[in-house]
Structure 1
Amino acid sequence: MELEPRTFPPHPIRGVRAVYARQAGCPSDFAEITADFEPWEDGFAFEVAGNAVVKGCSWAEEVPGFHAAVAAGMGEELADQGTGTIVAVAVVLRGIRVHAVDSNDRSFRMAGRLAVRGALIRAYGPPPRPKHRRT
């Protein structure tokens, strides 16, 4: 039995917060983002809100690269959804929080992926867990 593909997102999902923090030595990884997911035309559209908040960053030249990394991570995660999900989303980045030492493009790419996962859970609930087989 084949299931009907679902369209993501089925409704607006606002205020999705994702934090990627990994302590594995120095420097570590840190990124925090907040985004809204809106139903849109087929595909993935990304924009940074005109009033987007940037916390913890004193070097503004890095911020556009972090925004691009968020978009890349979101695009990767959405592409990984496969044929069971029709992507028709506009994502509006509302804010980021940066750590002066531990933030980097990789951290923000991972935060973008986590934000998509969080939005999917808010839209459809957690994914089914594999059943434990007794032997």
Structure 2
Amino acid sequence: MDSEARTFPPHPIRGVRAVYARQSSCPSDFAEVTVDFEPWEEGIVLEVAAHFTAHGSMSQTELATYQTALSTGIREELAELGAGTTAAVAVVLRNMRVHEVDSHPRAFRAAGRVAVRNALALAYGPPPRPKRRRD
């Protein structure tokens, strides 16, 4: 990240898809979301789009729980931006996909973190890769 002060997002970043899927054991993890990151007032706001689409079978209570977990993951990841970057963002939830067995709040929390990382890469480019040491 640059050393100069900046605000995230620097411009609208739309259609950010985040998938968190682990099939290593039972139960597995699955969460998929599509969100927009819109410049806003300082702070973080999560909104649900007027044309929000939910794929998969879930109750209204589960939907609310998953949205809360997603918001938590987004907030946690944005809190790690560092002193030089201020979050001033409205995150608009456009699409959510669940699996009736493998989706749970922890998966949506992780998907929120993935969404922020994907948006940061779109806004500022991929993070620097560690350099290999040559002996």
Q: TM-score range by the shorter chain?
A: over 0.9
Contact in 2 for aligned 1:57/1:97 (Cα 8 Å) = no
- 1:27-62 deviation line (CA, Å, top 9, x unaligned): 100000000000111111111113210001243331
Query: Hey, what's the Cα distance between the residues in 2 that align with 1:86 and 1:60?
Result: 33
- 1:111-135 deviation line (CA, Å, top 9, x unaligned): 0000000000000000111211212
The residue aligned with 2:71 is 71
Alignment of 1:111-130 (within 5 A): 111-130=111-130
Matched, 1:51 2:54: no
Deviates more, 1:115-124 or 1:60-69: 60-69
Question: Which stretches in structure 2 are left out of the alignment for 5+ residues?
Answer: none
Question: Which stretches in structure 1 are left out of the alignment for 5+ residues?
Answer: none
Query: Hey, what's the Cα distance between the residues in 2 that align with 1:50 and 1:64?
Result: 16
Query: Hey, what's the Cα distance between the residues in 1 that align with 2:41 and 2:6?
Result: 14
SS at match of 2:65: helix
- 1:58-95 deviation line (CA, Å, top 9, x unaligned): 43331000001100000000001111211111100011
CA RMSD of aligned residues (A): 1.2
Q: How has the CA–CA distance of structure 1 residues 78 and 58 changed in structure 2, closer, same or farther, with 3 Å as cutoff? A: closer
Contact in 2 for aligned 1:9/1:123 (Cα 8 Å) = yes
The residue aligned with 2:39 is 39
**Alpha-carbon deviation of 1:13?**
0.3
Contact in 2 for aligned 1:45/1:89 (Cα 8 Å) = yes
Aligned structure 1 segments of 4 or more residues deviating by more than 6 angstroms:
none
The residue aligned with 1:8 is 8
User: TM (normalized to structure 1)?
Assistant: 0.95
The count of residues paired between Structure 1 and Structure 2 equals: 134
